[in-house]
Structure 1
Amino acid sequence: MSEVKETVLEIDFKALEHNYLYLRSKLLPKTKFLAVVKAFAYGSDAEKVALKLQSLGADYFAVAYVKEGIALRDAGITRPILVLHPQAVSFDTLIERCLEPSIYSRKILEAFLETAAKHEQKEYPVHLKFNTGLNRLGFGENDIDFIIGKLKGTDYLKALSIFSHLAASEDLNEKEFTKKQIDTFQKIASEIDKKLDHIPFKHLLNTSGIVNYPGAQHHMVRSGIGLYGYGNEAKIDAQLRPVVTLKTIISQIHKIKPGETVGYNRAYASDGYKISATLPLGHADGIGRQYGNGKTYVYVNGKKAPIIGNVCMDMIMIDVTNINCNEGDEVIVFGKGLSANDFAQTADTISYELLTGISQRVKRSFIE
């Protein structure tokens, strides 16, 4: 491993492989695996991560928007790509690049049907999303007859799958709610199967669902955060390995006298003789102001160093008073040793927000 000389996000492909194989081990051999690589593969590198997962045997990929799917196609991804939140303005491009849309409302179904007809498609694959309790996107049970009427009246589209999304699969205190979602999905699936002239495949489970509700894996499962090393609960996290580690260096060290202040708005005032170190990353890199003023810490030479004062756009100051360190020394922000989940919790947020917020101006480094 090369010496860190700047802020860098290390992406460990061995950890990615471990996480993929662990989650695969929870599935029946016939169950397909969809890898969610939206938001730049949760802040890592969507193209390289997807290529690695494709080589490992991932059956499907999912992105949020058409632009993300295009990037995967351009990178050489040949497996099917589900677009989870397509916008009608991008439907022409979606078809041209052989992406598969999630159809989640009457308006979107009619708009995509019109686009498919314009392109003279035959049985273009679509995925019907149903709302079973998350109340975010999805058809309701009362939309089934409308959907069937539209699909049976044309050969432009084919319902390749139906799916839904669990709201609290990681929270075992919400078992009753989750089981209600599973039962509702099964009811919808049975009705669709009876009314269509073919049987769409089904997918419902996310990362926590794979572990906690394996009996509902249907034909395919979808995993996002788990692939990157986090499972939303301690027992899952213990089996996974963080894929990314954010590292930086000490740019400069300062000796601070009693009463002196550090940073914007003089947010930190020293109560004694202190030593501070300045790091070359800030809220423009994804480490927001909420992590400043003693809430969060980083690791310098294996020891905790709290962030002091306000986080700046391009810099963070830390307290290294009791740490033997020098300018140019490596600093671990989060990853191995300090999980993204623990780092995020210091500011009352979640690993998803932290990981996906890492700016693309931060250099990515890949460990094979």
Structure 2
Amino acid sequence: MAERPVPRSGPTFTHIARKFASLDHLSGGRAGWNVVTSVVPLEAGNFGRDTHLDHALRYRRAEEFVDVVRGLWDSFADGSVVRDRARGIYYEPAGLRTPHHAGEHFTVRGPLNISRPPQGSPVIFQAGSSETGRDFAARHGEVIFTAQTSLPGAQAFYADLKGRVAAHGRDPDDVLVWPVLAPYVASTEAEARDRLDELQELVHDDVARRLVQDNIGDLDLSGYPLDGPVPDVGVTNRSRSRQELLLDLARRENLTIRQLALRFAAVSSVVGTPETVADHIERWFRARAADGFNVSFPYLPGSAEDFVDHVVPELRRRGLFRAEYEETTLRGHLGLPRPPTRPSGRAVAESGRAVAETEPAAR
């Protein structure tokens, strides 16, 4: 069956551009955008499609989508929206950019009628780990989420991604790699392990089955015994990296469906005392496997409180965590540079009032 043509209209990304620019203004520069191409095929129905786009096509479309949104954020140079009532000028004409775009998937006529976000652009988060996803992350991402399960694997991912970033002409220090970390913290190792075991005992059979089913591919596991082996899975149109991670783990350790579900649920867990968790963080950071961590608390509020009250002070004692904020924006907190405005598309000689009348903004 031939792919249904992808609409070339612009409302979706002008909506995204406006929402994130507005959020950045309202928050004083603390917005971030987690760019996700979607994993579950049912999500395609939310966007008028019967089937999910092919994995590679999803990333090609995302490439264009992100480029257009960033162009819309740069519709006006910094400081060019002056709102000068005395002169009757809303913006300085020299600062107007007109990001008119006609590409493979989208067509849009700019500019976006909102001043440039305080951060220049909200921080771009991304989680590409497949071959295509890593290259996308290296071109566009500023904070990269990953779910590595070993220090050597994390080091290899870190080195590979930083190398791709440099190959695309970007500074590797301007892209942060954050593995997922799910902390189980207690005063003793045994108590922390008991907390993990207790949570895993609560995983319902249907939830365990769906955890595996939804992450290894388009395969209905309802007819397979939970305590039987994981069946063979062919090429999937879901997350390639996640499928490879799970199937490799199942084959390497001869896991049942239930065991694989529980291992996946705890794949990024670090279990132990505050010192144990801090040791893990320090070891990965100093070994160039991580620039920081995406801390995913397994339950709330207890695990978050344990981490903040006990692990953070230990990290501060080791000089690995700041004592107070030194900047005001999310970009500043992360030590990321503010992106410059993109070059103007064409010279604009008209007055601000005239341009506003002859150049309808993207809506």
TM-score range, shorter chain: 0.3 to 0.5
| Structure 1 or 2: more helix by fraction | 2
Return the structure number with greater relative CO, CA threshold 8 A, min gap 6.
2
TM-score (norm 2): 0.34
Question: Which structure dedicates a bigger proportion of its chain to strand?
Answer: 1
